[in-house]
Amino acid sequence: MLYFILLLPASWGMAQAKPDQSDKYLLFNKMHQAGIRLGIWANNGGSPTDSPGTVETSFKEASLYFEGCFAYRLAPQAMLELSVGVVNRGSVTFREGNTTNIGNVLVHPILLQLKLYPLASVKLRFQPYLSAGGGLYYGRRTVQFTTSGDVYYFGVEEQSGTNLNYVLGGGIDWPIGKKIGLEAGIKYMPIEFSKGLQTIRDYDAIAFTIGVKYLYRSKELEVSNARRHK
């Protein structure tokens, strides 16, 4: 169902694309990408368990998600993408004796994905894609503030966890110029830490993002094209 939803704007784009813009859309299928994404991290996992007076958390079902990415064009229909993201799942206040500590739980997805463009050979205003891959999910509970006077206290009570897992996604690329492109995407990330991070093992999430990307070709490809046109 998701795939057909993503294809609807692309089909509309094919009907709307102007003949004099066709080169721009075909050129996009030869370009590498580097950019940033911003969106919503929708929690699909567990919720923390509080202990009033000892541990108190403020986790929301939706958080701001930020991601940087680089994608290398393997072929007009395929790209290999490396992305690094960060989300603040919420704040944590915990007390030990007379010491109060305040911090956050951060999750960092570090992912390698294969992106497939099934309509790369068609002159479309929008280019839908599907993606699949995997990588490392790193979670950490930090301490930003403590009432302890010990300057070495920071980091002592931090927690962390890692998980190797897969990722699935899809989206639409929209080249708005020869060097600039926009994107809307969705990504499912199953995350399960072997040890509970702030009493939670299941950090599954669905991320909805929009992004802007710089499009460029390698120098080797540009030199090859220049020689061909001589």
Q: Which domains does the chain have, with CATH numbers?
A: 2-228 (2.40.160.20)
Exposed / middle / buried, residue 39 (Cβ in 10 Å: 0-12, 13-18, 19+): buried
Give the integer Cα–Cα distance in Å for 179 and 177: 5
Whether the model pTM is above 0.85: no
3-state SS assignment for residue 53: coil
Mean pLDDT of all residues in 5-17: 43
From 8-12, 117-121, 146-150, the region with the lowest mean pLDDT? 8-12
* pLDDT tens digit sequence for 100-125: 888 899 999 999 999 999 998 887 88
| 19 band by pLDDT with thresholds 50, 70 and 90 | very low
In the predicted model, what is the mean pLDDT of residues 2-6?
Answer: 41
CA 226/CA 53 separation, integer angstroms: 70
- The whole-number average pLDDT for the span 142-149 is 78
Give residue 120's identity as a one-letter amino acid code.
A
> pLDDT tens across 163-192, in order?
999 999 999 999 998 899 999 999 999 999
Position of tokens 């944590």?
92
pLDDT at 187: 97
Query: Taking all residues of the chain, what is their mean pLDDT, rounded to a whole number?
Result: 83
Residue 221 has pLDDT above 70, yes or no: no
Place of tokens 């923390």: 48
SS (H, E, C) the chain: CHHHHHHHHHHHHHHHCCHHHHHHHHHHCCCEEEEEEEEEEEECCCCCCCECCCEEEEECCEEEEEEEEEEEEEECCEEEEEEEEEEEEEEEEEEECCEEEEEEEEEEEEEEEEEECCCCCCCCCCEEEEEEEEEEEEEEECCCEECCCCCCCCCCCCEEEEEEEEEEEEEEEEECCCCEEEEEEEEEECCEEEEEECCEEECCEEEEEEEEEEEECCHHHHHHHHHHCC
pLDDT at residue 90, as a whole number: 92
Segment 24-82, tens digit of pLDDT: 566 888 999 999 999 999 999 998 888 877 888 899 999 999 999 999 999 999 999 99
129 compared with 1, residue with greater pLDDT: 129
